[in-house]
Amino acid sequence: MIPIDEIREVFEEYSWEERLEENPRRLYAFLLATDEHRSFLTFMQRAWRTLDALSGDYCDIFTYERWEIPSKWEIRAKKENQPNYIPLIQTNILQALYSRGLEFDVPLKEFIVNDGILLPNRTQCFEVRNRLFENPSEILLPGLALFPSADSKEALYYRCGGLNHNQLSESFQRIFSTVAEINQRDPSLNRNEIFNELKKTEKIRDFKERLNQVTMQISLKDVFDILGAGIRLVMPTS
What are the domain boundaries of the chain?
2-65+119-228, 68-118
pLDDT greater than 70 at residue 234: no
Q: How far apart are CA 209 and CA 202, in angstroms?
A: 10
Sign of the torsion formed by the C-alpha atoms of 66, 68, 70 and 75: positive
SS (H, E, C) 159-219: ECCCCCHHHHHHHHHHHHHHHHHHHHHCCCCCHHHHHHHHHHHHHHHHHHHHHHHHHHHCC
Q: How far apart are CA 71 and CA 86, in angstroms?
A: 14
SS3 content of the chain, % helix, strand, coil (to 5): 55, 15, 35
- pLDDT tens digits for range 91-123: 455 555 544 444 444 444 433 434 454 556 788
Bigger pLDDT: 67 or 177? 177
Instruction: Give the SS3 label for residue 8.
Output: helix
Fold of domain 2-65+119-228: Glutaredoxin (3.40.30)
**Beta strands per DSSP E along 10-115:** 27-32, 59-64, 66-68, 85-87
| Residue 134 pLDDT level (bands cut at 50, 70, 90) | very high
pLDDT greater than 80 at residue 233: no
Contact assessment for residue 24 and residue 190, using Cβ atoms and an 8 Å cutoff: yes
| pTM of this prediction exceeds 0.85 | no
- pLDDT tens digits for range 22-49: 998 999 999 999 988 989 988 988 898 8
pLDDT greater than 70 at residue 10: yes
Least confident stretch, 115-119, 145-149, 215-219 = 115-119
Sign of the torsion formed by the C-alpha atoms of 65, 66, 68 and 70: negative
Quick one: what percent of the chain has pLDDT higher than 90? 43
Least confident stretch, 106-110, 121-125, 132-136, 151-155 = 106-110
180, 196, 142: which is closest to 30 by C-alpha? Answer: 142
Instruction: Give the SS3 label for residue 43.
Output: helix
pLDDT greater than 80 at residue 78: no
Q: In what order do the strands lie in the sheet with 2-4?
A: 2-4, 59-64, 27-32, 143-147, 156-159
Instruction: Give the SS3 label for residue 226.
Output: helix
The per-residue pLDDT of the chain, averaged, comes to 77
Q: How far apart are CA 27 and CA 19, in angstroms?
A: 10
Least confident stretch, 94-103, 142-151, 163-172, 217-226 = 94-103
Least confident stretch, 21-35, 83-97, 126-140, 191-205 = 83-97
